[in-house]
Structure 1
Amino acid sequence: MKRAAVVGIIAGAAVAVAAAGAAAWFLLRPASVEDVAREYLAALSDGDWEAIDGMRADPLPDDADVVVADSFTGAAGYAQDPRIETIGEERGGRVEVEATAEIDGSSRTIVFALTRVGSDWKLAGEDYLAALTVHAAIEDGTTLPAVRIGDALAPTKTVVALLPAVYDIRAAPSDVLEGGAVIGVSNDAPAAVDVEASFSPDAAGLAQEQLDAYAESCTRAAAEVPDQCGLIVPWQADLAELERIAFRVEQLPDVTLSPTGTSFDATGGIVVATAHGLRRDGTPGSFTYRADDWALRGSIRFSGEEMVLGVR
């Protein structure tokens, strides 16, 4: 009896070990194509960029990769109720997947390919990305070189690669311009959108800060009248030679931006200039001149998140 019991115990232990080995094999087996496809669709639905990034076979070039990541993490909405429709046959280590999801209230097709990388399946190439082209301008005037898509600064008039999602597109620079659009994109068809921008209520104040700093640099004491500062000091009428000129600003010019975003006028400035030098008889002299119509004028240029004023 004792021997039989011992044998039975040993046999039971052997069975337990075998079962444990089978369980370990099951848990460590590579994910299937369907598993990875479902994980990708779930990450799209959850807005989980880190998960998607880890599933890619290859990253995009640096600038494009930043746009894809920042736009998606700042998206206005994500694919809802995604489901796999078809999984193609494997050809050369590559499988095509077609899915559907609701994006911005419409049923959209999402297509992507998975490729073998070692024992894993990864998103292949750039097939999983959607294509969007944005055109942006200020009231038929200045064309904007960039917009905000989610949290990304992206170029206009060129195809931008994005993950399927809903995106809030805003004119840039975002602190001086307003206007935008919301669009749902997927890779079933290229998308395009127009953004009509206008100056924000804060734009003139921000431009005024730039012009004030420029005007103050123009009115530092100098050995000659500075160029491109809107200053005309007729010292030649009284002096044969100018040695030094000093300015006192009583009123800085007030900025007005053109509605088309192409130019600006800063007018109504008041400045007093005192010129020091030699008279025609060779003796030292100083003369003071006052201008009640000091003005600065020029062009406006947009570069990414900057509005640049160019004084002429």
Structure 2
Amino acid sequence: MKRGAVVGIVGGVVAIAAAAVGIWWFLSRPQTADAAAGEYLRALEAGDYAAIETMAASPLDDAVAAAFSGAESHITDPRIVKLDAGTDGEQTVVAEVVLAGDEHDLTFTLRSSDGRWLVTADSLAAVRIDTTLGGAPGGGDSAWIGGALVPTGADIAVLPAEYTVEAAPRGILSGSTTVPVSSDRGVQTVAIDTTLAPEATAAAQEQLDAYLDACAAPAATVPDHCGIRVPWAADLTSLDGIAFRIEERPALALSADGRSFDAIGGVIVATATGASRTGGTGAFTYRADDWALRGTVSFVGDEMVLSVR
């Protein structure tokens, strides 16, 4: 091989090696705070929770992910206004964004960690949801924000976005609103005026019917909290068991404030067996044409719960 060719090849190898060193140097440079801030804002704009999660300085709560997954809309047109260096290697970022058609200032903090800038937990926005039912404080102990079921009357951390807030349980309580949540407003309070949904009575009746079926199961004694009286002692000296037959279920009505129910107009037949007062074993049948139950209603999580008095 000619010497000139060898020199040319060696020169080419040196050039490639130099280029590789340049790429390595570029990729290994520490990330700048400005670049990290831009990356975070683009992830918020795209609704890219996976990218946001990788930039979090501490693990995000599952409710943050669920809420963001069901966000109504995300920020648009983000623009970094300034970065202020703080203590402990932190940078405070102020950005201008558009959310739900309005301009907002978005403030968040970056912390340096192993050559990367991560978003701190105190950069999350916060919302507090209060509900009323019938014009008074009440309703459920939970509400929906985006795709997350969260407690009412508490400060809930969420990512900046526009969210639909709904009363819970869905299908039982009606009431919703849409709210843009950003870090420039502190803790945002959202009030939902809730009402009983048209489907609430049918759902309550279904729950009560299951309870009535349990009340009407064969039993050794008269079941408690079932609205049933069986005067077996008038005919028997001792009771061996009772068999029930439901002829008509009590019809349930919810109170206007959703806190109680009345179920009336039921018909139930009970056959009691045991030692007859006239001797031997006897069976006697009793009929109640005014079977009724009453109780309270509560809304727990995404469920309605009836409690019979």
Which bin holds the TM-score, normalised by the shorter protein?
over 0.9
Q: Which residue of 1 aligns with 2:299?
A: 302
| Structure 2: gaps spanning 5 or more residues | none
- Following the alignment from structure 2 to structure 1, what is the Cα–Cα distance between the partners of residues 172 and 69? 24
Q: Which residue of 2 aligns with 1:26?
A: 26
Per-residue displacement from partner, 1:124-179 (whole Å, max 9, x unpaired)?
Answer: 2x221111111013212634210011110101111111111101011111132211
State how many pairs are aligned. Answer: 306
Q: Which residue of 2 aligns with 1:105?
A: 101
Q: Which residue of 1 aligns with 2:152?
A: 156
- Following the alignment from structure 2 to structure 1, what is the Cα–Cα distance between the partners of residues 137 and 279? 55
Per-residue displacement from partner, 1:199-232 (whole Å, max 9, x unpaired)?
Answer: 2222222211111111011111212111100011
Tell me which of 120, 124, 132 is aligned to 1:137.
132
Per-residue displacement from partner, 1:38-60 (whole Å, max 9, x unpaired)?
Answer: 01000111111111111011125
Tell me which of 99, 118, 127 is aligned to 2:122.
127
Is the 8 Å Cα contact of residues 133 and 157 (structure 1) preserved in structure 2?
yes
SS at match of 1:23: helix
Give the TM-score normalised by structure 1: 0.92
Counterpart code for 1:222: A
Deviation of 1:286 after TM superposition, in Å, equals 2.1
Tell me which of 153, 162, 167 is aligned to 1:166.
162
Tell me, yes or no, if structure 1 residue 72 matches structure 2 residue 100.
no
| Structure 1: gaps spanning 5 or more residues | none
SS at match of 2:258: coil
Is the 8 Å Cα contact of residues 142 and 262 (structure 1) preserved in structure 2?
no
- Following the alignment from structure 2 to structure 1, what is the Cα–Cα distance between the partners of residues 8 and 214? 97
Tell me which of 272, 279, 283 is aligned to 2:280.
283
Give the TM-score normalised by structure 2: 0.93
Q: Which residue of 1 aligns with 2:204?
A: 207
- Following the alignment from structure 1 to structure 2, what is the Cα–Cα distance between the partners of residues 123 and 307? 39
Matched residues, percent identical?
Answer: 45
In structure 2, relative to structure 1, the CA distance for the partners of 1:5 and 1:248 (3 Å cut) is closer
**Which structure 2 residues correspond to residues 1-312 of structure 1 after superposition, within 5 A?**
7=7, 10-60=10-60, 65-89=61-85, 91-124=87-120, 126-139=121-134, 140=136, 142-189=138-185, 190-312=187-309
In structure 2, relative to structure 1, the CA distance for the partners of 1:210 and 1:5 (3 Å cut) is closer
Is the 8 Å Cα contact of residues 272 and 291 (structure 1) preserved in structure 2?
yes
- Following the alignment from structure 1 to structure 2, what is the Cα–Cα distance between the partners of residues 155 and 141? 15
- Following the alignment from structure 1 to structure 2, what is the Cα–Cα distance between the partners of residues 7 and 280? 123
Cα RMSD, aligned residues only: 1.8
- Following the alignment from structure 2 to structure 1, what is the Cα–Cα distance between the partners of residues 20 and 281? 105
SS at match of 1:240: strand
Per-residue displacement from partner, 1:235-282 (whole Å, max 9, x unpaired)?
Answer: 222222222211111111111111211001111111111122223243
Where does structure 1 differ by over 3 angstroms across 4 or more consecutive aligned residues? 2-13
- Following the alignment from structure 2 to structure 1, what is the Cα–Cα distance between the partners of residues 5 and 63? 69
Deviation of 1:102 after TM superposition, in Å, equals 0.9
- Greater displacement, 4-13 / 131-140: 4-13
- Following the alignment from structure 2 to structure 1, what is the Cα–Cα distance between the partners of residues 3 and 237? 128
SS at match of 2:220: coil
- Following the alignment from structure 2 to structure 1, what is the Cα–Cα distance between the partners of residues 262 and 206? 14
In structure 2, relative to structure 1, the CA distance for the partners of 1:141 and 1:274 (3 Å cut) is farther
